[in-house]
Copies of this chain bind each other. A is one copy, B any other.
Amino acid sequence: MTTLETTSENRAFGGVQGVYTHASAETGTDMTFAVYVPPHEPGTKLPVLWYLSGLTCTHANVMEKGEYRAACARHGIIFVAPDTSPRGDDVPDAQDEYDFGKGAGFYLDATREPWARHYRMRSYIERELPELVAANFQVDMARQGITGHSMGGHGALTIGLRNPDRFRSVSAFAPIVAPSQVPWGEKALPRYLGDDRKAWREYDAVALIEDGARVAELLVDQGTADNFLTEQLQTERLETACREAGIAADIRMQEGYDHSYYFISTFMADHIDWHAERLG
């Protein structure tokens, strides 16, 4: 039985914004995550929206800057924000690289040394953390949605595409849609997974769609003034893949918005409204 340690709990929008730590078997480290539980009738089980963060982030960025609590309180949705990588002194890191190592787990299970032992964010998000959340919060695991930003948008899309039975709704903010084909992924994927590009495809939303993975629909917001759009994000690759696969993707190019939480917070309530419709 995993013990959950409460780091902090603050009343917010009639509910509780909590931060919790536990010993993770998958990553072999302590892991910290944030959960917002909205006001609700005692005993009712609530739908849950997972939010995966981007490069350099922890659970805290969206908790402080994401502006999700008002909408989650209105709809009665639990919001879970995990960390982006294993942490701790015994976890190998790439010093001075913001886009690899700690803070840059890419939501995959690494197979190459020295990363394979701790960098297991895929299994952590797909298996271990959901079990922990189900055991400790009033969640209805039949009603899950997933979203995320940038590297976390990549996480949301790939995890959503690989687990269509688990998630009723998948959206993303400024996601990396095809890491195999852009510098961030071309740097990280071989070091975590080796040089065989076939092994990268299950961690690439566009490749997953090309290989037959399907969700009914997607919502994506992308700022036109995002510095990473042309080189790293390449949203048009997702548009093409969805069109060819018959996925109803609502990909909204948002004029003048950048890659920051000013952009995310602007459209957060839209996304939560959209997930709420699908989570019932």
Contacts and interface: CB of A to CB of B under 8 A. Distances in A.
Interface of A: 10-14, 17, 64-65, 67, 69-70, 223, 225, 256-258, 260-263, 265-266, 269
Contact of A265 (B12, B225, B257): B12
Q: Which 3 A-B pairs have the closest CB atoms?
A: A12-B262, A10-B262, A11-B256
Given A64-B65, A65-B64, A11 B269 contact: no
Nearest to A71: B70
Given A64-B64, A64-B65, A12 B70 contact: no
Contacts of A256: 11
Nearest to A224: B11
Contacts of A13: 265-266
A260 to B, nearest CB: 6
A67 B67 contact: yes
Contact of A263 (B11, B263, B266, B269): B11
State how many copies of this chain the complex holds.
2
A14 B263 CA distance: 10
B65 A266 contact: no
B70 A262 contact: no
14 contacts: A10-B262, A11-B223, A11-B225, A11-B258, A11-B262, A11-B263, A11-B266, A12-B262, A12-B263, A12-B265, A13-B265, A13-B266, A64-B261, A65-B65
Given A11-B225, A11-B256, A225-B11, A17 B262 contact: yes
Contacts of A64: 64-65, 261
Contacts of A260: 10
Given A11-B225, A67-B67, A70-B70, 5 more contacts: A11-B223, A12-B265, A13-B265, A13-B266, A17-B262
